[in-house]
Chain A
Amino acid sequence: MTAAAAAGSGPALEVTGLDVRYGPVHAVRDASLTVQAGQVVALIGETGSGKSSLALAAARLLPPAAAVTGRVAIAGTVVSELGGSEFRRTRARLVGCIAQDAMAALNPVVPVGRQVGELFAVHRGASRAEAAQAAVAALAAVEITSPAAVARLYPHQLSGGMRQRVMIAMAVALAPPLIVADEPTTALDVSTQAEILALIGDLRTRMRAGFLWITHDMGVVAELADWAAVMYAGRIVEQGPVQEIFDAPAHPYTEGLLATRRDLRSGPAGTPLFQIPGSPAAPGEVGAGCAFAPRCARASPVCASDDPALDPLGGGPDGLHLAACHHPAASPGAAVRAVPR
């Protein structure tokens, strides 16, 4: 089965029961997530929460040392069942990747035009001249002015925003149904960040691609994402439509994340910022119960013994809001008020 034949059938990304282990460390536990075509799904969590491992596993970019189990389907193609070389030949048509640090993610000694063009040469059999031409067109498509001149430059000769545009041009070059973006705007200054976000919003509507977007910037989530999944200690602890998550966070960890932001916006001057007490659990040292229990104000004996399942809450317009908590919030912000500052 070729990817092209299967493309278009099914959601952009469907991850089911994904586990990632690095030796004894269980980095991602039983993660299931769907990205629909044209949708931006934000993957939120602290460093070490497993969000990068999940995203890289979806794109099959983890190093060989990582043991990955579970099912990953991209636009109907079950990539988790494809052989290595079979996946390699189709991957650029299935999933594009945008890295956080474009300076490091571009080869320093190869002109950027050739780095974009080799996609067409390798996957479309384009000649040297055709590939160069297609590269210039791809650079123009991400709104780079004078793309023919930029194509001849090396990464270090470009600004941060331009480098990120080149990354995006490579990711979308073969119009894949899925784009995995790992904090693509974190390293940029605020105005460049806004430009890149606008470009991606534009590409999303034009290409109808699904985006899996790793971030810890709640502002970006609110602005761009349709859906949000919150990760803690390797698990997705809450997911649902962004509006739903923002208005009625059910998991105390999500509440905490949002409270941090709410304080910044509306808290009176001089109020200390809200902090989730304790420090994040490392994925390796999670016991039988809920990983968040030691830091949670609502924890009860059951939290220490049973890890809660990721269950529907029944709320929201489409009833798809899920949370893994024995004591989900009844009303927005309930837990936050209970947590001592």
Chain B
Amino acid sequence: MARAVIRRVVFGVIAVFGVIVLSFLLEFVVPGDPARAIAPRAQNLAVLANIRRQLHLNQPLAVQFASYLGNLLRGNLGTSYIQRQSVASVIGPGLKFTAALALAGVVAEVLLGGGLGLLATLFPRVRALVSAVNLTLLAIPIFVLGLLLLLAFGYGLHLAPVAGGAGPAQIVLPALTLGLIGAPWYAQIVADQMQESIASSYVRTAVSKGLSDGYILRRHVLRNVLSPAITMIGLDLGSYLSGVVTVEVVFAWPGIGLTAVDALQNLDRPVVMGTVIVGAVAVVFFNLVADLVRMLVDPRTREEA
């Protein structure tokens, strides 16, 4: 088991490094001059050249990359071109908000999706209805759903605040949006796994032991359903933490996604790199955590590892 963890961490580090190299290269392929973004009205070429020199943009790409990597290894993400403060302090606040939204969104999609999946399995009569709901949710673009929720709950029913601030009340609608978009996937997994489990030979054994339906569901079926859902939770947490731009834009949620978009538009390379690295680390980290939790839940995965 320890070997499995070490192997996954090593692969994770390699993956993050790969992402860093690729996105660093991409930044230089993208046309545009950061100096012009910093001083858009500067007429004097000497001023622009000076800015470039200050940012070390006049050095060869390899040298820039080496010095970036060196700083990174010392835990320094660099300084924002535009805001003149450390990347960590630019990303930090947004990261907190994005983390809160990611967590709330995953909780919402697991509850909604799990509920839909359970409904479809336990009550065959509503199965068709659940599939219709799933299909509808899959077909709706995320920003349309967000706007619909805003209209319905914010402007129509006045149940949720429309804008202003980013507190517990404001997180409900964006989290619900993420939850509704993600729910069909969980519903499908839960329904499939439950049907497979209920038809299994071990559930017949449990029935032959005179266990009640509720007991069989709790002790024998659900544990067999958890494993694939855990993998998906890990993937979602990771990808949501790299920013859920659409939702953050629709609900003016001050997360890392908005920071990333701003930085991209301003050619603020260090900030873009910072958000990319945060996302990559989050994906790798939550995948690892999901794998570990799966090993706890499903003993068979311990030996495979």
A interface residues (Cβ-Cβ under 8 A, vs B): 59, 61, 88-93, 95-97, 99, 101, 104-110, 118-119, 122-123, 154, 156-157, 167, 170
* Shortest Cβ distance from B204 into A: residue: A61
**With A90-B210, A96-B208 already in contact, 17 other A-B pairs whose C-beta atoms are closer than 8 Å:** A59-B208, A61-B204, A92-B209, A95-B208, A99-B205, A105-B204, A106-B205, A107-B206, A107-B220, A108-B224, A108-B299, A110-B223, A119-B209, A154-B299, A156-B300, A156-B303, A170-B205
Bits for B139-154, please: 1 = Cβ < 8 Å to A, else 0: 0000000000000000
Interface of A: prevailing SS: helix
Nearest Cβ in chain B — how far from A58, in angstroms? 12
Contact at B298–A109, with CB atoms within 8 Å? yes
Contact at B202–A91, with CB atoms within 8 Å? no
A110 to B211, CA, bound (A): 15
**Which residues from B are CB-within-8-Å of A119?**
209-210
**Which residues from B are CB-within-8-Å of A122?**
209-212, 215
**Which residues from B are CB-within-8-Å of A91?**
208-210
* Shortest Cβ distance from A91 into B: residue: B210
Contact at B299–A105, with CB atoms within 8 Å? no
Q: List 18 A-B contacts (CB under 8 A).
A: A59-B208, A88-B210, A89-B210, A91-B209, A91-B210, A99-B201, A104-B201, A105-B204, A105-B205, A106-B205, A107-B205, A109-B223, A109-B224, A109-B227, A118-B211, A154-B300, A156-B303, A170-B205
Judge if B169 is at the interface, Cβ distance under 8 Å: no
Interface of B: prevailing SS: helix
Bits for B22-45, please: 1 = Cβ < 8 Å to A, else 0: 000000000000000000000000
B interface residues (Cβ-Cβ under 8 A, vs A): 200-202, 204-212, 215, 219-220, 223-224, 227, 297-300, 303
A156 to B202, CA, bound (A): 13
Contact at B299–A61, with CB atoms within 8 Å? no
A163 to B300, CA, bound (A): 16
A95 to B210, CA, bound (A): 10
**Which residues from B are CB-within-8-Å of A59?**
208
Nearest Cβ in chain B — how far from A77, in angstroms? 13
Nearest Cβ in chain B — how far from A60, in angstroms? 9
A107 to B211, CA, bound (A): 14
Nearest Cβ in chain A — how far from B206, in angstroms? 7
A167 to B206, CA, bound (A): 11
Contact at B210–A105, with CB atoms within 8 Å? no
* Shortest Cβ distance from B226 into A: residue: A109
Contact at B208–A61, with CB atoms within 8 Å? yes
| Contact A104 B223, CB 8 Å, known A109-B299, A122-B211, A154-B300 | no
| Contact A88 B300, CB 8 Å, known A61-B204, A61-B207, A110-B223 | no
